[in-house]
Amino acid sequence: MRGPLKTTHGAAPVALGLLIALYAVPGAQQPPAATPAPAAPAPAKPLVPVATNTVTAHPDAYYGLAVTINAAVEQILSKSAFSVDQRRVGAAADVKHDPTDVLVLVPTIQSPVELHAYVTVMGELVKFDPAEIARKAKDYKLDLPADVVAKYSGRPALLATSVINEKFVDLAKRLPPPLNAEEEAYQKVMRQVGPAFAALRPAVDGSNAETAGKNAAVLQKAFTDTEAFWKPKKAEPTLWAQNARKEVEAVQAAIAAGKWDEAKAHAATVGQACAQCHGAYRERFDDGSFRIKK
């Protein structure tokens, strides 16, 4: 059993989970003007604590809301889905006919829940329909058997962003995998590319040959390394890195010739390469760190 010390330690992850759930729920409405959400792209409505039997009795009142449910895992349905119920913990024999259980879908599930263990699940309550889930969770592949889909269709389901277990671990939180030596070196290169490119643009705009030249040199070397990293692995990012290097070299030539309009145009094209490659090969984790998309 867990002592009070563990509970104290657990408070932070739970609070964090709440925060993540609050900001991660899409389609949220504006909160009152007095409570702006700091540093969040879109303010979220507050989490509504609900009971499973309330939700199943009046689902229409909760669809589209960010809710939190504390209940026992009643049935494990797939790798990313389970049902919760507060009414009859562990009454497995009755499960099939139990109308008070709520389907929980966890697109970012990292480790499994335990049968009959208590969990706090947070996310948006939706009317279950595979097409609707596909729209709301773009990268998620629903992994339910057909009979389970049929059973829950048209019923309330929670599209969960957090699943806090009894050890206060959020099972839905995606943490970045450790870097190997090569990936670490790659990350160092990208961390040079960021500030160098940020400095290049205003230097070119201001016709500052010294600053522009210095940062272009950093980028030229960095994209040479980026290209070398990708070359044995994948053709597309190799080509994008190569193009970025060529554009940087064109910036360098334009600076040397004092052709600042040309330098500006080529610098802008370099910027497109960042977005192009990040869109396809960069992945952001819940803690804000980046990794190569596998």
Please give the structure tokens belonging to residue 261. Answer: 């309009």
Out of 69, 104, 171, 244, name the contact with ligand HEC by CB under 6 A: 244
CA distances in angstroms from 166 to 11, 113, 261, listed in the order given = 12, 10, 61
Of residues 196-215, those binding ligand HEC (CB under 6 A)? 197
In angstroms, give the least distance from the CB of 203 to ligand HEC. Answer: 14
In angstroms, give the least distance from the CB of 23 to ligand HEC. Answer: 21
In angstroms, give the least distance from the CB of 290 to ligand HEC. Answer: 3
Out of 140, 221, 278, 285, name the contact with ligand HEC by CB under 6 A: 278
Q: Mark the segment that binds ligand HEC (CB under 6 A) among 146-154, 190-198, 203-211, 260-268.
A: 190-198
Out of 226, 245, 263, 267, name the contact with ligand HEC by CB under 6 A: 226
Longest CA pairwise span in the chain (Å): 81
* Binding of residue 281 to ligand HEC (CB under 6 A): yes
Out of 65, 66, 160, 241, name the contact with ligand HEC by CB under 6 A: 241
Of residues 102-161, those binding ligand HEC (CB under 6 A)? none
Q: Mark the segment that binds ligand HEC (CB under 6 A) among 18-26, 111-119, 203-211, 233-241.
A: 233-241
* Binding of residue 267 to ligand HEC (CB under 6 A): no
* Binding of residue 194 to ligand HEC (CB under 6 A): yes
Parallel, antiparallel, or unpaired for β 102-105 and 156-164?
parallel
* Binding of residue 263 to ligand HEC (CB under 6 A): no
Binding site for ligand HEC (CB under 6 A): 186-187, 190-191, 193-194, 197, 226, 230, 237, 240-241, 244, 270, 273-274, 277-278, 281-282, 290-292
